[in-house]
Amino acid sequence: MEAKLLEPRHDSGISIEETLLKRRSVRDYTGEPLTLQEVSQLLWAAQGITDPRGLRTAPSAGATYPLETYVVVGDVENLAEGVYRYHLPKHELVKVLDGDLRTELAAAALGQNWVREGAINIVFTAIYERTTRRYGDRGIRYVHMELGHVGQNVHLQAVALGLGTVVIGAFRDDQVKEILNLPQDEQPLYIMPVGRK
């Protein structure tokens, strides 16, 4: 099942300087649902295509694009609970699992409640081989640099939307892989719960 996302906006009423000033890790959420437009905007900010050649919102070493983006949906208006993979070329979500898996994901994240309480969790994974086959072991460093760019993009977009998020790096990799049914070659790197603050 696919869910077409709405066209991203390319402007807002807040400056980049103000988003930088207001960017904070937010771990408390109101429990109100997100809109599909907000989810669409967050995903576009993370890795949206910004150029006919396929270039994205975040730089990637040699345009190897090792990151994959998943959304664990618990509470989004007009979007069923489940796990979705962000399909960039069509700017859409492809459902890969049914059900609200936020509680299981929070348990895998060492019991961090904000993972369960966010309306969604954006999970970034890496297929290291996409980058290391070109750059060898140094490519691992490049993957992590790209992840930092992507995470900051999501943080700043969340601020611009009046939402809160935090980066979670403490989790049991094998449990996250199992919960999301990830392919063997994909490694989970970040969990970013997002909710209204």
Average pLDDT over residues 164-191: 98
Tokens of 8: 């991203």
Number of domains comprising the chain: 1
Inform me whether the pLDDT recorded for 26 exceeds 90: yes
Which domain does 125 fall in, by range? 2-196
Inform me whether the pLDDT recorded for 10 exceeds 80: yes
C-alpha span between 157 and 160 (Å, rounded): 5
CATH number at residue 190: 3.40.109.10
Which pTM was predicted?
Answer: 0.97
